[in-house]
Structure 1
Amino acid sequence: MTNLEDRRNAFEAKFAHDAELQFKAEARRTRLLARWAAGPLGIDGEEKIDSYAGDLILADMREKGDDDLFRKLKADLDAKGAGLSETEIRAQMSRCLDEAKLSLSEED
């Protein structure tokens, strides 16, 4: 029975570790998105960019998945007349997530 419990505990530990890494990657991705969006939005200064990143993080927590974050970004960019398509924004979201995951893996 110990072997089965050991396997279960190892699986649970891996699941928790993977979930933590995903959470960190998504938070880092959102900060990278804030930096990227700062240009078209006319946001300058570290404090303002950090504040906007916080706004994006809050938006991303409203519902499961990335659609809430996308809608916030799209609405903000549209309001400033940035003229970025859904495809361009989603591609940037994907690039930022890849960059975030890479930087986390380099830290380990």
Structure 2
Amino acid sequence: MSDNQRTNPNDDSRYAHDEAVKFKINSRRAKLFGLWAAEQLGYEGDEAAAYAKEVVAADMDEPGYEDILRKVQADFDAKGADVSDHRQRTKIEELWNVAEKQIMDESK
């Protein structure tokens, strides 16, 4: 039996559910990272929320979070914000855990 064949008909729905949850977590992480980056850029309120939406949209470019980091780094450079790549990567990884907890708590 190939890896692509499933032995349980419920596997398809479980896979679809798991993918939907991952998508929600990734989107939430991008939003949280966008809000954090907005704070580093001095944005508040509606401006910060709008910036976070831009970061979420940038996350649709490719799998992973490199697209987000490129967008945010370009914005940091344009504004003269001195935030290291290491700090950004540490923060985005930290926010994955926060986003995962939030999404899981919401689905209870």
TM bucket (normalised to shorter chain) is 0.7 to 0.9
Is the contact made by 1:30 and 1:57 (CA closer than 8 Å) also made in structure 2? yes
Give secondary structure in 1 for the equivalent of 2:8: helix
Pair 1:38 & 2:24 matched: no
Q: Which runs of 5+ in 1 are unaligned?
A: 1-5
Count of matched residue pairs: 103
- Give the TM-score normalised by structure 2: 0.85
CA distance in 2, matches of 1:84, 1:50: 20
Is the contact made by 2:39 and 2:48 (CA closer than 8 Å) also made in structure 1? no
Amino acid in the other structure paired with 1:56: V
Q: Residue 83 of structure 1: CA displacement?
A: 1.3
Is the contact made by 2:34 and 2:56 (CA closer than 8 Å) also made in structure 1? no
Give secondary structure in 2 for the equivalent of 1:8: coil
Pair 1:16 & 2:10 matched: no
Which residue is 1:101 aligned to? 100
Q: Residue 78 of structure 1: CA displacement?
A: 2.0
- Runs (4+) off by over 4 Å: none
Structure that is richer in helix per residue = 1
- Map 1:21-100 onto structure 2 (within 5 A): 21-45=21-45, 47-100=46-99
Identity level (%): 34
Which residue is 1:3 aligned to? none
Amino acid in the other structure paired with 2:87: E
Q: Output the aligned Cα RMSD.
A: 1.8
Amino acid in the other structure paired with 1:43: Y
Is the contact made by 2:58 and 2:71 (CA closer than 8 Å) also made in structure 1? yes
Q: Residue 57 of structure 1: CA displacement?
A: 1.4
Question: What per-residue deviation string (whole Å, max 9, x for no partner) do you get for residues 34-81 of structure 1?
Answer: 221122211111x22221111111111112221111100111112222
Amino acid in the other structure paired with 2:97: D
Give secondary structure in 1 for the equivalent of 2:24: helix
CA distance in 1, matches of 2:28, 2:11: 26
Q: Residue 7 of structure 1: CA displacement?
A: 4.5
Q: Residue 90 of structure 1: CA displacement?
A: 0.8
